């Protein structure tokens, strides 16, 4: 059992990252749901060609912004809570310079790759790029001082602006312009609101040249890990289209992918919030973050493995064909959670080389396996490629894992295997028609293994639930 848990007065240290992590996960969940609602309603109001134009422009901007951001969130999370730190002004300056430099490249891509239907939104794309890049710095500055509630409120109001405005403009025949303008106003609100709160807590002072180099180096060494996620989640969809995969297959694959991305975001949120908590307490809490996030994610993974058809049918019967894809992608959740938590640990320890190697390993293994498997197995090949990439990166990070964390990983994996075997045995005994009962039994066995192994204790779970409810 983790040394910070039961019987140790430092159990309260979990409050520093568990509650903020859950709030940040809630933010990710609500943003994802709002995004689904936005595009589902929009699809009923306008032509598919208009949606295609808007999605192309927005994703091009998002891709450029992600490249420009590098891994700047990690120095922001580590240094934002240091009194009189010049991290905000320095980060904003770095991102502003990189964004300005990226503008000519974005302009060249728009004018050479795309036709006039995309080119007419060039200036709107530039505005979105600046807002998204600078908003990103302010967001992680607020998260760095453990203020995810502020981020959540800002995002909720932003969604309240984008959704009705987008619906109104599109219903009045503004098409792609209306969709993108709604995104632009949302980004403008989020940037302005975040800047208001950041100015209350931070100085915009810029650090000296040595500090500038330190922050830039920290962002660069974390860039491969961040870019690898972008390549796996975003570029995979583009590559599938380029490899002549049927649009309908890409659509159902995307739905299955987004389900697992949302589930995995719980571990991501916890891993982000443990960084400022560790800095505040001058103690590395990443092992606790890994243990707790894996233990709480494992039951959801078991449900995805046991009843993938039932979950997909809730979205629509046309997505049931992605059953196998969802099962494979569900298996990526634990290794991806291990990787993101270990990245936080490596950042706390200053292991720059290992961070770079982890990101590169994930990118290389994904692209190689993708190019080999997709022509043969199509979307199933893409899912297997993602599984290979996440397993490879998690194995790389295990070099730096401590004995407590390794034990946690082993027991979480054992709990999932035990839960799945229970589901199979129950299905054989009572029949496939009682799949819900099989899922309940498998869920119970998974949780029993987690509690029996003391990966999570009942007392600790009660404490965490009480802590979260009190914060609400």
Separation of alpha carbons 415 and 408, rounded Å: 11
Separation of alpha carbons 397 and 358, rounded Å: 7
Separation of alpha carbons 45 and 370, rounded Å: 36
- Tell me whether residue 187 is in a domain: no
Separation of alpha carbons 121 and 118, rounded Å: 6
Nearest residue to 329 via CA among 256, 265, 397, 394: 256
Tokens of 151: 């981020």
Nearest residue to 232 via CA among 66, 366, 355: 366
Kindly report the length of the chain.
472
Tokens of 377: 């197995």
Range of the domain at 437: 240-472
Average confidence (pLDDT) over 207-225: 85
Separation of alpha carbons 75 and 288, rounded Å: 21
- Are the C-beta atoms of 2 and 18 separated by less than 8 Å? no
pLDDT computed for residue 354 by the predictor? 86
Tokens of 327: 């099962």
> Does 130 score more than 80 pLDDT?
yes
Nearest residue to 330 via CA among 467, 171, 442, 245: 442
Separation of alpha carbons 50 and 53, rounded Å: 5
pLDDT computed for residue 2 by the predictor? 39
- Tell me whether residue 446 is in a domain: yes
Considering only 88-102, 119-133, 156-170, 315-329, which range has the smallest mean pLDDT?
Answer: 315-329
pTM value? 0.80
For the chain, the domain total comes to 1
Average confidence (pLDDT) over 432-445: 79
pLDDT digit string, tens, across residues 59-112: 788 888 888 888 888 888 888 877 777 888 888 888 889 989 888 888 888 878
- Are the C-beta atoms of 409 and 455 separated by less than 8 Å? no
Nearest residue to 342 via CA among 323, 368, 361, 327: 361
> Does 298 score more than 50 pLDDT?
yes
Considering only 261-275, 287-301, 450-464, which range has the smallest mean pLDDT?
Answer: 450-464
- Tell me whether residue 397 is in a domain: yes
> Does 376 score more than 90 pLDDT?
no
pLDDT computed for residue 388 by the predictor? 92
Q: Which span out of 42-51, 180-189, 434-443 was modeled with the highest average pLDDT? A: 180-189
- Tell me whether residue 399 is in a domain: yes
Separation of alpha carbons 87 and 92, rounded Å: 8
Nearest residue to 124 via CA among 182, 48, 39: 182
Phi, psi of 315 (to 5 degrees): -85, -40
pLDDT-derived band at 171 (thresholds 50, 70, 90) equals confident
- Are the C-beta atoms of 256 and 319 separated by less than 8 Å? yes
Q: Which H, E and C letters describe the chain, residue by residue? A: CCCCCCCCHHHHHHHHCHHHHHHHHHHHHHHHHHHHHHHHHHHHHCCHHHHHHHHHHHHHHHHHHHHHHCCCHHHHHHHCCCCCCCHHHHHHHHHHHHHHHHHHHHHHHHHHHCCHHHHCCHHHHHHHHHHHHHHHHHHHHHHHCCCHHHHHHHHHHHHHHHHHHHHHHHHCCCHHHHHHHHHHHHHHHHHHHHHHHHHHHCCCCCCCHHHHHHHHHHHHHHHHHHHHHHHHHHHHHHHHHHCCCCHHHHHHHHHHHHHHHHHHHHHHHHHHHHHHHHHHHCCCCHHHHHHHHHHHHHHHHHHHHHCHHHHHHHHCHHHHHHHHHHHHHHCCHHHHHHHHHHHHHHHHHCCHHHHHHHHHHHHHHHHHHHHHHHHHHCHHHHHHHHHHHHHHHHHHHHHHCCHHHHHHHHHHHHHHHHHHHHHHHHHHHHCHHHHHHHHHHHHHHHHHHHHHCCCCCHHHHHHHHHHHHHHC
- Are the C-beta atoms of 79 and 87 separated by less than 8 Å? yes
> Does 389 score more than 60 pLDDT?
yes
């Amino acid at each position: 059992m983790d040394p910070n848990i039961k019987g140790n007065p430092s159990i309260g240290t979990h409050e520093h990252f568990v509650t903020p992590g859950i709030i940040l996960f809630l933010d990710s969940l609500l943003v994802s749901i709002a995004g689904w609602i936005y595009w589902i309603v929009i699809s009923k109001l306008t032509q598919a060609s208009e949606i295609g134009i808007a999605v192309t422009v927005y994703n091009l901007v998002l891709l450029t912004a992600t490249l420009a951001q590098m891994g700047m969130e990690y120095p922001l999370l580590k240094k934002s809570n240091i009194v009189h730190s010049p991290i905000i002004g320095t980060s904003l300056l770095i991102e502003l310079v990189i964004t300005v430099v990226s503008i000519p490249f974005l302009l060249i891509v728009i004018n050479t790759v795309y036709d006039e239907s995309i080119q007419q939104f060039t200036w709107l794309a530039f505005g979105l790029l600046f807002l998204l890049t600078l908003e990103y710095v302010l967001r992680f500055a607020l998260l760095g001082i453990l203020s995810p509630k502020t981020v959540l409120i800002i995002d909720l109001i932003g969604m309240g602006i984008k959704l009705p405005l987008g619906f109104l403009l599109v219903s009045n025949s503004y098409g792609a312009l209306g969709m993108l303008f709604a995104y632009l106003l949302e980004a403008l609100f989020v940037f302005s609101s975040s800047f208001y709160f950041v100015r209350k807590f931070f100085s915009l002072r810029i650090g000296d040249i040595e500090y500038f180099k330190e922050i830039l180096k920290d962002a660069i060494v974390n860039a491969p890990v961040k870019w690898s996620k972008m390549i796996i989640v975003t570029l995979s969809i583009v590559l599938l289209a380029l490899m002549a995969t049927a649009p309908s297959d890409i659509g159902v694959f995307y739905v299955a992918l987004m389900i697992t991305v949302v589930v995995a975001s719980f571990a991501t949120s916890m891993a982000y919030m443990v960084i400022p908590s560790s800095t505040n307490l001058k103690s590395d809490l990443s092992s606790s973050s890994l243990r707790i996030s894996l233990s709480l994610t494992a039951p959801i993974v078991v449900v995805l493995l046991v009843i993938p058809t039932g979950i997909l049918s809730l979205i629509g019967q046309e997505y049931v064909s992605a059953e196998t894809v969802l099962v494979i992608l569900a298996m990526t959740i634990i290794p991806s959670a291990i990787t993101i938590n270990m990245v936080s640990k490596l950042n706390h320890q200053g292991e720059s080389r290992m961070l770079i190697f982890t990101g590169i390993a994930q990118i290389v293994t994904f692209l190689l396996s993708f190019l080999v498997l997709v022509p043969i197995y199509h979307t199933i090949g893409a899912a297997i490629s993602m599984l290979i990439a996440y397993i490879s990166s998690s194995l790389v990070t295990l070099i730096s894992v401590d004995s407590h964390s390794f034990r946690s990983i082993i027991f979480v994996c054992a709990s999932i295997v035990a839960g799945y075997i229970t589901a199979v045995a129950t299905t054989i005994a009572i029949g496939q028609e009682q799949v819900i009962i099989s899922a309940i039994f498998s869920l119970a066995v998974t949780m029993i293994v987690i509690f029996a192994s003391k990966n999570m204790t009942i007392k600790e779970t009660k404490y965490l639930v009480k802590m979260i409810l009190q914060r609400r």
